[in-house]
Structure 1
Amino acid sequence: MSRRDDEAPMRARVPADVERADRVAFGLTARQLVILTITGLVLYAAWTALVRVVPPLVFAACCVPILGAAFFLAVGRRDGIGLDVWLLAAWRHRRAPRQLVPSEGPITPAPAWVTTTRGPGDRLPLPAPLRLPAKGITADGLVDLGPDGTTGLVAASTVAFGLRTPAEQNGLVAGFARWLHSLDGPAQILVRAQRVDLTHLGDRLASRAPSLPHPALEDAAHSHAEFLDDLAARRELLHRHVTVAVRSTRSPGNTTHQTAETVRALSGCEVAARVLDPLDAAATLAGALNPSAGPSPPRGRPVPELDESEEL
């Protein structure tokens, strides 16, 4: 064993608050200071208007819960985000329509003569037009996001990291770090897992085994079919699809360059990557919009199927 194989694996400490806003004053962010300042100004304006009517102790007693609620709203967090942002998102979700349909224009109400068990049709809540961030797919396979730029999709394979030596692991980590440092825009790594059923392969092997030209081949086919059935019964097999999305707000040519650089950089990490063409990009988006159907494998890497010439 070489000396490099004995070296310790590389460790990188990633702070959990990498996206935390900067502290401006008193350990508070600008957003928190704005909330507290507005609350203080509103209470001061109320005090100047009611100073001759309301006793100071009564007004102070009424201000305590308001200040407490403002402070809790400013510094509180829920699900990793600020409480004010969380409440605003909850309010938008509550007011958002529950039914969305694809439509180019506004949804027209039903005619007055349409009746249901709930009353006339025009009283029913109308569905809202479905507005997706993706406007379409270009001839180069880029996802057109309109004013938000374009996104290139790269299909990548996985790497057996735990089976490598410490030196090999360090090389993979260094290569992945170089790709991260080369990014000049947003990037996302999407990993989707789909259950793999091997029973149909075992059934096909068992059904075609008697037609093989030699008894030894028939026994081997039955043995392999039993192995596949036993493996499917004892293990939950998963097939992972890894997609890297690189977005750029510049020209589509810059996005194409970024996707090509992503493929080149990931190849240095022993990752088999390729840029998705328009058909594969459309299939990937369709699988992401319908997770219950399972991710569709790219055409370049189909799910293994038995062929007449490769049954064994």
Structure 2
Amino acid sequence: MSRRSDEAPMRARVPADIERADKIAFNLSGRQLVILAVTGLLLYAAWTTVATLLQPLVFLAGATPVAAGAFLLAVGRRDGISLDAWVLAALRHRHSPRRLVPTDGPVVPAPAWVQTTAGPGDRLPLPAPLRLPAKGITSDGLIDLGSDGTTSLVAASTVAFGLRTAGEQNGLVAGFARWLHSLESPVQIVVRAQRVDLTYLADRFLAAAPTLPHPALEDAARAHAAFLDDLARQRELLHRQITVAVRSRRGAPHAAQRIAEVVRALGGCEIPARVLDGPDATVRLAASLKPTAPALAPYPTPDGGDDR
């Protein structure tokens, strides 16, 4: 269906603090009020206990740091999260085991005659079992989550949205909105930006240059490899990787149907997408565990995919 070229683009104002907790009283959230109220009650109980033993100024001097710490804990933020949640995460990390090993059962302790440390009587703690949410990956790319069902991964590309007319932009937004409204189970869209290593492509061109049928083509291949090396030295190139994770609790047939619907819906929005099979899903999950590793530049193949 044709659209008028003078059609106004659809716009919607999305607040940046959409996940911020609701304010209940005194411009404070319920969590903040609970922290301050509990601290106030504890200080009041402590004052009623020692009121006959301490002067008010002495108690005030000791209670002021506690009240200030509670206020900072309630209203402070670090790394985009509330300070109390950050402190709890730090304590949980501090008391969590540092060494994890993949095993299905408990870790068997070493015999008593095995020397594990230099000091006498002080033995290293045993490693804890490594518990990953994924139990395995099938050849079709289905990730087994145990009691949580299965998850399939879709590799999606991007759309040059700013180069489209207002009518075309509205059509893309409407198609994407229809897909979002049709979702009946959890779907996660992950966008990662990685540094691109162009030396991979440069090496491919240099290796293939002597086999080209004409000297001019060989010179062009070597010149292009030199251009890629120079570009890698002068700029920090980024590769955007988009993955759509679709979860299902109804078994493999339903998961395959859901993933096909996702690819079809994204195709309607002019977004190239393909389902990741077992090896590709394994590579993408492994790369997510090492996000700082540079990505290899995609090498186009005749079928329209890329060779990595």
- Give me the TM-score of the superposition, normalised by structure 1: 0.79
**Contact residue 284 and residue 296 of structure 1 kept, 8 A:** no
Are residues 206 and 154 of structure 1, via their aligned partners in 2, closer, same or farther at CA, if it must alter by over 3 Å?
closer
Are residues 302 and 265 of structure 1, via their aligned partners in 2, closer, same or farther at CA, if it must alter by over 3 Å?
closer
Q: CA deviation at 1:290?
A: 4.4
Write the letter of the residue equivalent to 2:33: L
Are residues 195 and 10 of structure 1, via their aligned partners in 2, closer, same or farther at CA, if it must alter by over 3 Å?
farther
Mapped partners of 1:165, 1:205: distance in 2: 41
Structure 1 alignment gaps of length 5 or more: 213-217, 306-312
**Contact residue 7 and residue 166 of structure 1 kept, 8 A:** yes
Find out whether 1:90 has 2:90 as its counterpart. Answer: yes
Are residues 56 and 116 of structure 1, via their aligned partners in 2, closer, same or farther at CA, if it must alter by over 3 Å?
closer
Aligned to 2:275: 275
What do the CA deviations read for 1:272-292 (whole angstroms, capped 9, x no partner)? 213333443333323323453
Aligned to 2:197: 195
Aligned to 1:232: 228
Structure 2 alignment gaps of length 5 or more: none
Write the letter of the residue equivalent to 2:210: S
Write the letter of the residue equivalent to 2:209: A
Are residues 255 and 15 of structure 1, via their aligned partners in 2, closer, same or farther at CA, if it must alter by over 3 Å?
farther
Aligned to 1:205: 208
Alignment partner for residue 218 of structure 2, among 209, 214, 222?
A: 222
- Give me the TM-score of the superposition, normalised by structure 2: 0.80
SS in 1 for 2:38: helix
Aligned to 1:215: none
Are residues 192 and 61 of structure 1, via their aligned partners in 2, closer, same or farther at CA, if it must alter by over 3 Å?
closer
Mapped partners of 1:143, 1:281: distance in 2: 8
Q: CA deviation at 1:191?
A: 3.2
Are residues 4 and 120 of structure 1, via their aligned partners in 2, closer, same or farther at CA, if it must alter by over 3 Å?
farther
Q: CA deviation at 1:256?
A: 4.5
Are residues 52 and 74 of structure 1, via their aligned partners in 2, closer, same or farther at CA, if it must alter by over 3 Å?
same
Listed as ranges, the matches of 1:54-203 within 5 Å are 54-115=54-115, 118-119=118-119, 123-137=123-137, 141-184=141-184, 185-191=186-192, 193=194, 194-196=196-198, 197-203=200-206
Q: CA deviation at 1:254?
A: 5.7
Aligned to 1:289: 289
SS in 2 for 1:105: coil
CA RMSD for the aligned pairs?
3.3
Moved more, 115-124 or 160-169: 115-124
Mapped partners of 1:163, 1:67: distance in 2: 55
Identity over aligned pairs, percent: 59
**Contact residue 36 and residue 74 of structure 1 kept, 8 A:** yes
Write the letter of the residue equivalent to 1:131: R
**Contact residue 113 and residue 120 of structure 1 kept, 8 A:** no
